[in-house]
Amino acid sequence: MPIFSILPRALACLGLLAAAPVFATAAGPGARADSFDTALLDTMKSARSLGPQGRYDRLVPVMKEDFDFTGMTRDIAGMQWSRLAPEQQSRLVTAFSRFETAMFADWFDSYAGQSFQVKDVVIRNDDVATVGVALSGAGPVLRLEYVLRVDSAGGWHIVDVRYEGWMSVVERRREEFAEIMSRYGFEELMARLEAKGHELVDHADNAASPHLQRPIRDLWDRPLMPIQ
């Protein structure tokens, strides 16, 4: 076969091979959630020796990779987002990502044999997915639900976390941010975000109080009084 007829096909093959790593590494939603949980579990296993700052430092690159903090911040800011200048938007994303990472570092502060297990993956409209995960091993099983969106490169990233099927991080923070920005303004929100993030990382671990194992379930498992 003349080389001129082989060459285009060879180049096409090379092109496909070059593109293959992109498709190979673009994790599906289930794989993305599983990857994050694995990294989280590794951090938990060394939680006490790392301390809050150490856990935070370890989680920063992990969450930067697995979460879409820009998307989350935009969802949380809601209508306020378009009223912010680009520089303010950038500052808010940075402050929120630091705060959220600090929260995870604070929550997952111990290990008592827990494990994460992906239970179900549901994809809607090809660009939004929910991944149900069970956290078990320390008391009752805690149900987490990651909400993910696909980006323009085909990669899935976490944009919300729901605890026990109802407590959404984004919805919770949306109300708080809206209240603070409308009452006190953008700079006050930034100050509180940054202060709270530092506070979460600076405090010492409380050995008697493992956090996430039974938080939200207990709070609203039933109304405050037994009779309703």
Q: Which stretches of the chain bind another protein, using CB under 8 A?
A: 78-80, 103, 106-107, 165-168, 171-172, 174-180, 189, 192-193, 196, 200, 209, 211, 214-228
Q: How far is the CB of 14 from another protein (least distance, A)?
A: 51
Q: Which is nearer to another protein, 127 or 176 (CB)?
A: 176
Q: How far is the CB of 39 from another protein (least distance, A)?
A: 21
Can you read off the two tokens belonging to residue 8?
A: 């285009």
Burial class (CB in 10 A: 0-12, 13-18, 19+), 94: middle
Q: Which is nearer to another protein, 30 or 213 (CB)?
A: 213
Q: How far is the CB of 147 from another protein (least distance, A)?
A: 14
Q: How far is the CB of 58 from another protein (least distance, A)?
A: 20
Q: In what order do the strands lie in the sheet with 156-163?
A: 115-124, 128-136, 142-150, 156-163, 167-168
Q: How far is the CB of 10 from another protein (least distance, A)?
A: 57
- Per DSSP, 208 falls in state T
Q: Which is nearer to another protein, 35 or 174 (CB)?
A: 174
Residues near 115 by beta carbon (within 8 Å), at least 6 away in sequence? 41, 135, 136, 137
Q: Which is nearer to another protein, 151 or 218 (CB)?
A: 218
- At 91, which helix (H) or strand (E)? helix 86-107
Q: What is the DSSP string of 141-167?
A: PEEEEEEEEE-TTS-EEEEEEEETTTE
Q: Which is nearer to another protein, 49 or 228 (CB)?
A: 228
Q: Which of 31, 26, 169 is closest to 104 using CA atoms?
A: 169
Q: How far is the CB of 75 from another protein (least distance, A)?
A: 11
Q: Which residues pair with 76 in a beta bridge?
A: none
Q: Which is nearer to another protein, 14 or 219 (CB)?
A: 219
